[in-house]
Structure 1
């Protein structure tokens, strides 16, 4: 199987697992999120081995904060009305992250062009970033419209997509400093859990902060 094919199959499986856990919510989603956060911290700890205690403490919060944000939004941010908006908002955050990542991958491969940050991640391009932001804005906007979420979630989508790209670049910088290609080997064609969720970290935290601030 080609690299793209392997990435696609693994990506579809990951998305289905995440959607199933989020659909059930409650204990199922909590256990799923806790397991993912634990693996993320394990992979982070391997990357920063020898970097000092501060990096390990930072990694603890790096894994903990998005996990708490997702769980809080899923279970506590429901609003009056016909929809389970906690579910809708978590899935909105997922869509922003997934669309930004997938859009950047395929648009970058199709169009190429100037590199985004060649010293950090030589394969990322400006065209990929633009494609990812557009994909995230369109797809999350369709979901927000369908679920009748407030209009400001349409405005937040491109901003959050940019933070997802920043999260990806940050993890790429860490891997470069550690001298490794991937943070782990758990996911065929993708590397580790940290490699796939680096963009979700800021998006999840910002989504939780937005809901906590009253942007519902």
Structure 2
């Protein structure tokens, strides 16, 4: 692969990536209902993409499950947690009953999407703008640094059978980038240097989300989750890392008291 081919998709990726950053930044900055709507729409579209990849019986099923997921995510943040939890699991079970193929894959990824969306809203609502930015920046830096390091340095592949472009150099560079983000936030927030390790763990969780989606796409024989975003594929292709990261934070936050030193 020559240099021109290796960087051929960069312009399109940067343009659509910038549009996503601006929209996401607006939603995160506004918080409240605006952010809740944005997260609900993203989650609904991701399930819509998921069902499309799993080849359901028809477009009506795909649309219905996407709408059901978006509605469940949006309503969950306004309900007491005891009522929110069954609502968050309902779309996974409904879809399990509607589909005739790939039910387990659908259920696992839909639960992941639902809980991750709920987790992101909880971070923004309960911890504030700063910690939501930290989570997003760790995931974005992991992806961007890994992308450029992998293209620049190459080297051994991480999992060539499933993700042929992912390298160990890019994977490790993502951890370094996340550690630097953790260092900057630990200095500026006073929560302690444990945040560096937590940031690296969040980076790893985001990479696990990416790997899980890559494995599912490989199994289904598709390159991208959809063609909604030029140069990036679909929303699942861009938010798979955020799924893993926010779900991981939602789980560990119950045990470590997050943010460390403040929770």
Scaled by the length of structure 1, the TM-score of the pair is 0.89
Q: Please tell me whether residue 59 in structure 1 is matched to residue 109 in structure 2.
A: yes
Counterpart contact for 2:142–2:173, Cα < 8 Å: yes
Aligned to 1:80: none
| CA distance in structure 2 between the aligned counterparts of 1:38 and 1:140, rounded to whole angstroms | 31
> Which of 148, 151, 154 matches 2:196?
154
Counterpart contact for 1:98–1:136, Cα < 8 Å: no
Aligned to 1:215: 258
| CA distance in structure 1 between the aligned counterparts of 2:252 and 2:221, rounded to whole angstroms | 36
- Seen in structure 2, the aligned counterparts of structure 1 residues 114 and 91 have a Cα distance that, compared at 3 Å, is same
- Seen in structure 2, the aligned counterparts of structure 1 residues 142 and 183 have a Cα distance that, compared at 3 Å, is same
Aligned to 1:13: 19
Aligned to 1:166: 208
| Greater gyration radius | 2
1:63-100 deviation per Cα after TM superposition (whole angstroms, max 9, x unaligned): 101100011121123xxxxxxxx222211111111011
- Seen in structure 2, the aligned counterparts of structure 1 residues 8 and 141 have a Cα distance that, compared at 3 Å, is farther
| CA distance in structure 2 between the aligned counterparts of 1:177 and 1:15, rounded to whole angstroms | 30
1:79-136 deviation per Cα after TM superposition (whole angstroms, max 9, x unaligned): xxxxxxx222211111111011001110000000111100011111110101111112
Unaligned runs of 5+ in 1: 78-85
Please report how far the alpha carbon of residue 2 of structure 1 lies from its aligned counterpart in structure 2 after TM superposition.
Answer: 4.2
Aligned to 1:205: 247
- Seen in structure 2, the aligned counterparts of structure 1 residues 54 and 201 have a Cα distance that, compared at 3 Å, is same
| CA distance in structure 2 between the aligned counterparts of 1:215 and 1:143, rounded to whole angstroms | 14
Out of 194-203 and 9-18, give the one that drifted further.
Answer: 9-18
Scaled by the length of structure 2, the TM-score of the pair is 0.74
The count of aligned residue pairs is: 208
Superposition pairs of residues 187-206 of structure 1, within 5 angstroms:
187-206=229-248
Structure 1 residue matching 2:17: 3-state secondary structure: helix
Aligned to 1:46: 52
- Seen in structure 2, the aligned counterparts of structure 1 residues 23 and 179 have a Cα distance that, compared at 3 Å, is same
Unaligned runs of 5+ in 2: 1-6, 56-99
> Which of 169, 185, 189 matches 1:143?
185
Aligned to 1:129: 171
Aligned to 2:130: 88
- Seen in structure 2, the aligned counterparts of structure 1 residues 212 and 89 have a Cα distance that, compared at 3 Å, is farther
Counterpart contact for 2:181–2:199, Cα < 8 Å: no
Between 1 and 2, higher relative CO (CA 8 Å, sep ≥ 6) is seen in 1
Aligned to 2:124: 74
CA RMSD after TM alignment: 1.7
| CA distance in structure 1 between the aligned counterparts of 2:175 and 2:118, rounded to whole angstroms | 25
